[in-house]
Structure 1
Amino acid sequence: MRIGIVGAGAVGSFFGALLQQGGHQVSFLTRGKHLEAMQRQGLNIKREDESFTIHSTFTNDPEQLANSELILFCVKSNDTEHMANKLLPILQENAFVMTMQNGVDNEEILKKIFGVERILSCATYVQAVIEKPGIVKQQGRVALVIGELDQSVSQQCADIVACFHQASIDAKHTGDIVGKKWRKFLWNITFNPLSAISTATVGDLLDDKPLRETAESICKEAMEVAINAGVSIDPARTMETIFKNAERARVHQTSMLQDRLSGKQMEVESMCGYVVRKANELDIAVPTVQASYSILTFMNKQQSLDGGRLVTK
């Protein structure tokens, strides 16, 4: 299968490399020092039990992905609409676009641009970081849950899941991808904002009593929003699962914390902002999420990216 990775950071690079190893033709769209390093020496993947390097098409030109049958859409949520509009006139009309992004609002943006029948969504469970440009390190659990937004393309989605199996990737097809994404989103909002504010790892958040209580408050508020928005979850069981899964990610720096440390804009609007706006629509109080949103929005305003260095204005 011809696959394009749009936004080949840690996650996109990792899965793209596995897919190429599995026999698929993969092109990587990225930029900056990561792109330069891959063009010079290939993409190196380091796992707990192996290390391998692939050589492929590494580019900053979207036109080079024009013949893709499947796009893995991995850009930061802040860039979703801009990148989707750039791709629309380039891609074949029958190409699928699969979002592997955090949040639960990217699907709404993508289906308005490409049409609902072309959009697939993926709940992505992976711990991966760019150790240095051209080198991605992955550890721990790897799993994907993939589903279509329009049931008319259910078989095509199942066929794509089979392509991931071919590459020895643990992937499952679901008919309830919106519910699955919300459950993953609840994990993310529980730990991402607080870790970015405090610069704490997931393990630090679990072990520090005040921080853990704050994380639990965020989780409860977000679950109330989800339930009132029509998502079917059991609050007690969901809370237990979220914190149990966190125990397996103790050393993990969340994606939002990674962005803060590297001076990048954090996905504040797609994470906290979305919950705050949805809570306002539903007339639900979310004081802890609101506080996190205010703090992180201010942080985003204060930092800009200058040659990879964090600069405060």
Structure 2
Amino acid sequence: MRVCIYGAGAIGGYLGAELAQVDGVEVSLIARGAHLAAIKENGLKLLIGEEERVAKVTATDNPAELGPQDYVIVALKTHQAWDVADQMVPLLGPDTAVVTCQNGVPWWYFFGVNSAYQNLRLNSVDPDDRQWDLIGPQRAIGCVVYPATEIAAPGIVKHTYGNKFALGEPDGSMSERSTRLSQALQEAGFKAPVLPNIRDEIWLKLWGNLCFNPISALTRATLDVVATDPGTRALSRAMMEEAQRIGARLGVHFRVDVERRINGAAKVGAHRTSMLQDLEKGRQLEVDALLTAVQEMGRLVDLQTPHIDSVLALIQQLGRTQGLYPVFPEDSGSPESLVVD
């Protein structure tokens, strides 16, 4: 089994280091800069508690060097994955599966659904149908990521908690390619169930991310504060209720209620959300897959989203003033090629 991890950062590095220990799995990594140089020189180091593991794997910044793979696991943020879609093409053989590990609404969301929205494209996450056309939705396997990891230093990934990567086919089938990948991930020590409706799992994580992330970035507050302060908790609840109505109209089942979801976030403690961390580090904000896509889907099913709209406008404006979100020209519906990484 040939597996390429496209984006060997914190999550991708964690996946790659563990999968490399499995017999019969040939792992390669796409990385860049100092991180890539360190991996090439010393291997990819993974810190789990007091244990240090070193994986000797092929690492490059040029996908064309690797050739077609059985699986390409995309561990980039949504806007980054869109940017490099053309660079993934050399990795794609006739049967290559592409596993999307991004937060939020994936670009293939309406592929394989048995509804009036089948094969509808979402401009908010895939402008100009770039990924749909270059990669192809038939290759997609959904993945919802739960572990918390970070790059401790170039070439060194630190695992904090969690080991679940939920998988699912867009059409809900228990395909051979999904079960084969699940088995490899389980051999590597991960929890990797193949779910009959991956969209339910996508929405469960999205449900919190769409409110907690932007509110924390706007207020600089940690997750426990956002989820317990009366004002930000009420705003989070209102945004989640709007999103739940959209999801329900699209056939999504929410297995927990709003209060339980917010309480679960509060229990995580003084966690700085990924959007807050990106803001502090001057990295492009991941707004569209978490909020703009939900707004777009709301318009699709004729539901208003006043609270989501307001928070989206605020976080977009914050991102633009900081140079961390694309600026949309007045005469165009698509972003300029401004990317700050």
Relative to the length of structure 2, the TM-score reads 0.81
Are 2:219 and 1:198 equivalent residues in the alignment? yes
| % identical aligned pairs | 29
Greater strand fraction, Structure 1 or Structure 2: 1
Conservation of the 8 A alpha-carbon contact between 1:80 and 1:106: no
Conservation of the 8 A alpha-carbon contact between 2:69 and 2:91: no
Superposition map of 1:259-278 within 5 A: 259-278=278-297
Q: Aligned-pair distance for 1:112?
A: 4.4
Are 2:195 and 1:174 equivalent residues in the alignment? yes
Conservation of the 8 A alpha-carbon contact between 1:74 and 1:101: yes
Superposition map of 1:98-117 within 5 A: 98-108=99-109, 110-117=131-138
How many Å separate the matches in 2 of 1:252 and 1:43? Answer: 26
Give the match for residue 279 of structure 1.
298
How many Å separate the matches in 2 of 1:202 and 1:223? Answer: 21
1:135/1:303 Cα in 2 relative to 1: closer, same or farther (>3 Å)? farther
Conservation of the 8 A alpha-carbon contact between 2:224 and 2:267: no
Give the match for residue 95 of structure 1.
96
Give the match for residue 14 of structure 2.
14
Greater helix fraction, Structure 1 or Structure 2: 1
Are 2:157 and 1:122 equivalent residues in the alignment? no
How many Å separate the matches in 2 of 1:43 and 1:90? Answer: 21
How many Å separate the matches in 2 of 1:219 and 1:193? Answer: 13
Question: Counterpart of 1:260 in structure 2: which amino acid?
Answer: L
Conservation of the 8 A alpha-carbon contact between 2:77 and 2:286: yes
1:37/1:61 Cα in 2 relative to 1: closer, same or farther (>3 Å)? same
Conservation of the 8 A alpha-carbon contact between 1:127 and 1:252: no
Conservation of the 8 A alpha-carbon contact between 2:75 and 2:102: yes
Q: Aligned-pair distance for 1:225?
A: 1.7
Give the match for residue 39 of structure 1.
40
Q: Which blocks of at least 5 consecutive residues in structure 1 are unaligned?
A: 306-311
Work out which of the residue numbers 168, 177, 183 in structure 2 matches 1:147: 168
1:200-250 CA distance string (max 9 Å, x none): 22122223232222222221221122112332336xx33144224324522
Q: Aligned-pair distance for 1:162?
A: 0.3
1:130/1:61 Cα in 2 relative to 1: closer, same or farther (>3 Å)? same
Question: Counterpart of 1:119 in structure 2: which amino acid?
Answer: A
Superposition RMSD in Å:
2.3
1:118-143 CA distance string (max 9 Å, x none): 21011111111223332222222221
Q: How many residues align?
A: 304
Conservation of the 8 A alpha-carbon contact between 2:146 and 2:165: yes
How many Å separate the matches in 1 of 2:173 and 2:192? Answer: 20
How many Å separate the matches in 2 of 1:248 and 1:184? Answer: 15
Are 2:294 and 1:301 equivalent residues in the alignment? no
